[in-house]
Amino acid sequence: MSYIGPESSVRLHPLPAEAYLTPEGYDVRLPRDAQAYLEEVRQKTLPIIRTEDDVFAALADELRAAKYLDGTRESVLSHTEHVKRICLEDAQDRPDIPLYEVELDADIHDWDEALGGDTIITDEAAEATRFHRGAANATLLHQALPANSPYMRAYMGYRWSEITGIWTPSRRLVKTDDKAAAYEFQIRDDVQAKLHAERQEDFADIVERGMPKVVMDTTAMYRMMGALTTLGEKYEEWGCKPFAGNPREIVEFFAYHAKAQFMADYEMPTRSRPAELVTFTGQTAGSRLIQKIIDPAEADEFGVIHLESRRGKTTPQPPTPSTSASIVL
């Protein structure tokens, strides 16, 4: 799988060593410590992982906080299948995202929970151990499974994106649709917002908290808006906390506000970075991008044809190369 990109060659745990030392003194980069740490914090014997099927079996046994109407809880594997379904559905109209990438990324997006367990956001103790449990889980899966398998490469690439915040289009869609899926679950006939009826949460607070999780992908943002609007329309019917206002207007207000904030914080600063003139050497390095401004004279020294991004009527056409040559846009 070539789409994984440069992170496929990054170490299993790219952060400084101290980040992987737990308060209990375990180094979760080490398989023995990772196993002991997870068994201590989870208070259970971990399942044996030898194949990728074992990982999915572990996800089937791991339960999420999400409850059905009868009081039973959704499994992580069931959630994974839901996320994969909606991601493949959303990717149909996204030419920037190959479907095979989406399917792989959706399949592995919760692999951290195979041994590390699910994290309920209202559980402060679980939140405090989330990072180390995920890292320990990665250590043990990396030890058990072939590192060059499509699933493992996708898993390690997804973890790299989680750590660096650099997302491929596929991973970005999966990450955000994952959040939308949790809200879609709540409007199913066999769920009916039971959790909200129990907690008596304010609808506007739910929307304000949920929308920033998905705005980095526009497709997922509109999916989330639809789920939250339906949730608001059913709130009174299901005995949840009453609220004033139109659900659609409330959702749109917080959605577009969150999107504008995301653009201000992340998108615009990235797009407005000044161009940098760098000496053209004819060589590229994986640690940096090719410069956007190239001196044609320097490029010519290396036999590279330089095509200007802006061309006028008087701009001469480049010569047709007699041999293969690099073309720099």
Ordered by start, the domain boundaries in the chain are 1-168, 186-273, 277-329
Q: Which of 86-95, 193-202, 292-301 has the highest mean pLDDT?
A: 86-95
**Which region holds residue 269: left if phi is over 0, alpha if psi is between -120 and 50, else beta?**
alpha
> Which of 184, 178, 177 minimizes the C-alpha distance to 234?
184
Q: Give 182-204 pLDDT, tens digit per residue.
A: 999 988 888 876 767 777 889 99
Name the band, by pLDDT with cuts 50, 70 and 90, for residue 306.
Answer: low
Mean pLDDT of 41-66: 93
Q: For residue 322, how many other CB atoms are within 10 A of its CB?
A: 6
Nearest-10 crossing angle of helices 203-210, 247-262 = 30
What CATH topology corresponds to 1-168? Hypothetical protein af1432 (1.10.3210)
Name the band, by pLDDT with cuts 50, 70 and 90, for residue 222.
Answer: very high
Q: Are 171 and 158 in contact (CB under 8 A)?
A: yes
Strands 73-75 and 63-67: antiparallel
pLDDT at 48: 94
What are the beta bridge partners of residue 229? none
